[in-house]
Structure 1
Amino acid sequence: MRYVLTLTALIALIASPASPQSQQDKGALKRFAVSEIYHGPPVFPDFRGRDRGFNLYRTRIRAGISSGPNFSGTYSLISFGCGTGCTQVYIADNRNGYVGNVPIGGEETPYLQMFYNINSSAIIAYWQYGGRCVRKVLALVDRNFNEYQQSEIGPEEACYNIGDASNLQSVQRALGGKEEPSNLPDIAPATPASAHSDREANLNQQAGFIAAVKHARTEYAQGQNDMAKGAARPMRAKNVCAALKGYSVSGWIGKISKLSSNSEGKGVLHIEISPQITLKTWNNALSDISDGTLIEAGSKVFRQASALREGADIQFSGSFIPSSIDCVKEGSLTLSGSIERPEYLFRFSDVSPI
């Protein structure tokens, strides 16, 4: 089975406890060591001005910066899934909010795995291409990446679980290396641990959900007749269930598109998690009688939401409502609305600003 590493999640890739890795990789990271580590508050990008070219990914980039530097002393290395085996990668400077591209990622470097840490400006990248496992060393110099080495280390199987001890010796042989000394500093792979690992999993879950909904939208648009278009809905339900693996979610990110109350004073909240994909409460007690999505006045979530505003980027948790039609309940009255602009009913349990 292929080893697929995405960013995230979605959002940020943050250093974790080390996995064994080749002496050459450890040497490359040490060779590009940095001396400055930024400990100040993060500065967010100017998505309406200087950094507007990255506006489409603003929520993931902001979430990555919120976790602090994880690369080259002052930068956040941020990646997230863009399809099967596809990973988008960006960097953001925590000192000034500058966002830049990384010359790996996307469809050109499928099944990408990266090794890096906050103390080095180097990235050791592995990916599968044309049946081979490829390795490249890159280093950040004055906001630009220099590419130093690219080599094939063997068939694509050599890339499977590249950080595992069971695979280490074959990688070292392909690189002409020796068994690594135990006293070398460990390299942190781009798979976060503990709370950061949970964050990565949460954002990857969200990315999978969004991808399932967008894929159905594309299939619906390409349908030649109503029968073909109708097939997009059960396909989406299957893919949504596969992405969610349950009904509760935690640590998702989105933008408040509606914040109000109904005639009884209960909270009404709509969160846009991607263009034309919304998670929401009902806006009236009658519709909500069996779903329980309206936010009770005086509750923790009501107090949290009351301190926010429409247009704010937030992190949230809660649960979907099971549905035999859509996997999770969707509130549109028509098939076209359900597919093109879905609004999923959601019970919010926590909301906080990013």
Structure 2
Amino acid sequence: MNPEEIPKWKYFIPFYGIYITYKSSEPSKGKWWAVSIIMTLIAISVIGGRDKKEKNIPQSAGNNDIIENSDADKSSKPQTSIGQPDQIQFHRNLKELKSKYNNAETEMAKSAVYREFASFVRKYLPGMTIKDWEGKIDTIRTDEGGEKVYLSIESEFEDFEITVETHNNSLSDYSAGSMIKLNTPVYKQLESLKEGDNVVFSGRFVSDSKRGIEQSSILESSIVTSPEFIIRFGSIAKK
């Protein structure tokens, strides 16, 4: 290529974060080419955006069907109902504290909510005892030989879930003594149950001087927003 044939003009055309480079030895021709490219790309983006928008808008004839299907999906989702007033109020108060914790803007503000949480669970249940609470069995697992059982029950109300469970190993359970032992009445009741069963249960939470109720969770955020309370089960039956 002769020196005079080397393009003298370069155009950088920005488009959605991409730079299109064009070189031309004729300034006037290069400018018109650049303008043509920009206009073409804009037209493509407008048409593409319009098509996408139209695809996302349901036709009027089927719009009601879409709404009805959405409602049906919500109603078909299995919900674990809970009926005891003290369990319902427990859920509602903890849900409010979760929202308060998530909305707190500083670490100190969040820790203040954590202390409020601990104070509430400590004072709410006299003697840490619950009776005829309801939930769904999430996990049943035995240790070697089946001498001890780890049991986890999920309890959900108004889209807020808590877990009520034993410790999952003997070392963690050394002081709490929450795991269900072989030949005990609760062990025998559990033999006829399986994961996924809706159950009614009673027991006593394990108290904790700092957290109010002992938990499996170790992070402050998890303790408040997705609590996993340790309990000594007294009875359990299929709902």
| Contact 1:276/1:340 (<8 A) preserved | no
Q: State the alpha-carbon separation in 1 of the partners of residues 95 and 197 from structure 2.
A: 23
Partner of 2:85: 204
Partner of 1:348: 233
* Greater per-residue helix proportion: 2
| Contact 2:80/2:155 (<8 A) preserved | no
Structure 1 residue ranges without an equivalent (≥5): 1-48, 64-202
Q: State the alpha-carbon separation in 1 of the partners of residues 168 and 220 from structure 2.
A: 21
Q: Deviations over 1:284-319 (max 9, x none)?
A: 111111000010012111111121111111000000
| Contact 2:80/2:135 (<8 A) preserved | no
Write the mapping of 1:297-316 to structure 2, written as runs, cut at 5 A: 297-316=182-201
Q: State the alpha-carbon separation in 1 of the partners of residues 175 and 145 from structure 2.
A: 17
Say yes or no: does 1:273 pair with 2:155. Answer: yes
Partner AA of 1:267 in structure 2: V
Q: State the alpha-carbon separation in 1 of the partners of residues 79 and 161 from structure 2.
A: 15
The one of 167, 171, 176 equivalent to 1:291 is: 176
Partner of 1:260: 141
Partner of 1:339: 224
Partner of 2:120: 239
| Contact 1:212/1:236 (<8 A) preserved | no
| Contact 2:80/2:198 (<8 A) preserved | no
Partner AA of 2:195 in structure 1: E
Closer, same or farther in 2 for the Cα pair 1:346/1:221, shift >3 Å?
same
Name the SS of the counterpart of 1:246 in structure 2.
helix
Q: Matched residues, percent identical?
A: 30
Q: Following TM superposition, by how much is the alpha carbon of 1:231 offset from its aligned partner in structure 2, in angstroms?
A: 1.2
Partner of 2:81: 59
Alpha-carbon RMSD? 2.2
Bigger-Rg structure (1/2): 2
Write the mapping of 1:5-20 to structure 2, written as runs, cut at 5 A: none
Structure 2 residue ranges without an equivalent (≥5): 1-70
| Contact 2:214/2:230 (<8 A) preserved | yes
Q: Following TM superposition, by how much is the alpha carbon of 1:253 offset from its aligned partner in structure 2, in angstroms?
A: 0.4
TM-score (norm 2): 0.63
Write the mapping of 1:37-186 to structure 2, written as runs, cut at 5 A: 53=75, 58-60=80-82
Write the mapping of 1:310-325 to structure 2, written as runs, cut at 5 A: 310-325=195-210
| Contact 1:208/1:243 (<8 A) preserved | no
Partner AA of 2:201 in structure 1: F
Closer, same or farther in 2 for the Cα pair 1:247/1:54, shift >3 Å?
farther
TM-score (norm 1): 0.44
Partner of 1:249: 130
Partner of 1:215: 96
Partner AA of 2:124 in structure 1: A
Q: 4+ runs of 1 displaced by more than 6 Å?
A: none
Name the SS of the counterpart of 1:59 in structure 2.
coil
Q: State the alpha-carbon separation in 2 of the partners of residues 242 and 324 from structure 1.
A: 12
Q: Following TM superposition, by how much is the alpha carbon of 1:223 offset from its aligned partner in structure 2, in angstroms?
A: 0.7
